[in-house]
Structures are given as structure tokens and as C-alpha cells.
């Protein structure tokens, strides 16, 4: 995560100052991550050169139309980590969710994926899990109104 934040800071500098940044000896994973940031998030340009197995260099450079994203990938990862930690230590689901639906007597062969397909329009507004008994599911909603709509 620390490396990702440093890379994002250097890419912001490249985008704002119309400059170039060189990276030497990146692993393929780091080069792939850098490429994702360069092309998809900052709209910069990148060139990698050098023989396979030898020292390879990667240059990132400014191009017309580049931008600095409103939120960085590392910030999103930090928010996700904070959310996961908060949920992990919360013992009562009622503090997170406003309403829950308990679905029982689900025919054999249906899974959580089947349930999620039926409730596709509520995709980011719910959390679903298997129930305590066979053939049951629990669906927890962040909003009581959306739970009524789903019901």
C-alpha cells in the first residue's frame, strides 16, 4: 500500500507538471498495477524497454488530455479496509442494517447467486447470507425503504 501511494503521488506530479518519471526493475505485478493507473486512471502514457530477464525500465510521461482522478485507488482501499474492520468488530447487524428479510423454504438447487440475480436492482443496497437452516437466506438492507421495495 505504501508503494502504491508513492506511485500515485509521482503520477500526480507528472500530470500536473507535464513531466516524465522513470521506474527501474519493477516486478511484473507492480508494472501491471502501474499500467492500470497510468492508462485508466490518469490517462498518461507509458513505455517499457529492455530485454526480458535483464534490467527493464519503465517511463511514464505526460500526454494531452491526462487528468488527476478525484479519488485515488489507495484512498478507496483505505476506505474498504476501514469498513471491513468496523464490520468485523460489530456484533449486532442491527447497527449497520436498517431492515432484514428472512427467506425460508427455498427449493433445492437455489443458491445465494440465484437470490442475487432476482434482486439485481438492489445490488449495492443489501448484504445476503445463508440462513441458519437448510433452504433459508437472510437479506440485510441498509435502508428500510429499499427492504420494503424488495419485499
Q: pLDDT tens string for the chain (151 positions)?
A: 888 899 999 999 999 999 999 998 888 889 889 999 999 889 999 998 887 767 888 999 999 988 888 888 888 888 777 765 444 444 455 567 788 888 887 777 778 788 788 888 887 788 888 888 888 888 888 888 888 888 7
Say what the pLDDT of residue 95 is.
60
Residue ranges with strand state E in 62-123: 99-103
Instruction: List, by residue range, all CATH 3.30.1370 domains of the chain.
Output: 2-73
* CATH number assigned to the domain with residue range 90-150, chosen from the 4 options 3.50.50.60, 3.40.50.280, 3.30.70.330, 3.20.20.10: 3.30.70.330
Q: Would the pTM count as exceeding 0.85?
A: no
Is residue 105 helix, strand or coil? coil
Amino acid at each position: 500500500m505504501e508503494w502504491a501511494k508513492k506511485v500515485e503521488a509521482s503520477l500526480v506530479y507528472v500530470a500536473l507538471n507535464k513531466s516524465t518519471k522513470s521506474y527501474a526493475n519493477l516486478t511484473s505485478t507492480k508494472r501491471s498495477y502501474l499500467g492500470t493507473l497510468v492508462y485508466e486512471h490518469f490517462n498518461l502514457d507509458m513505455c517499457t524497454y529492455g530485454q526480458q530477464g535483464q534490467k527493464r525500465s519503465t517511463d511514464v510521461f505526460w500526454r494531452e488530455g491526462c487528468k488527476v482522478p478525484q479519488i485515488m485507488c489507495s484512498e478507496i482501499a483505505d476506505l474498504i479496509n476501514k469498513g471491513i474492520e468496523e464490520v468485523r468488530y460489530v456484533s449486532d447487524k442491527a447497527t449497520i442494517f436498517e431492515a432484514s428479510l428472512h427467506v425460508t423454504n427455498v427449493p433445492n438447487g437455489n443458491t445465494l447467486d440465484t437470490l442475487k440475480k432476482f434482486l439485481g436492482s438492489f445490488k449495492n443496497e443489501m448484504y445476503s447470507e445463508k440462513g441458519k437452516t437448510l433452504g433459508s437466506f437472510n437479506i440485510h438492507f441498509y435502508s428500510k425503504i429499499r427492504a420494503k421495495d424488495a419485499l
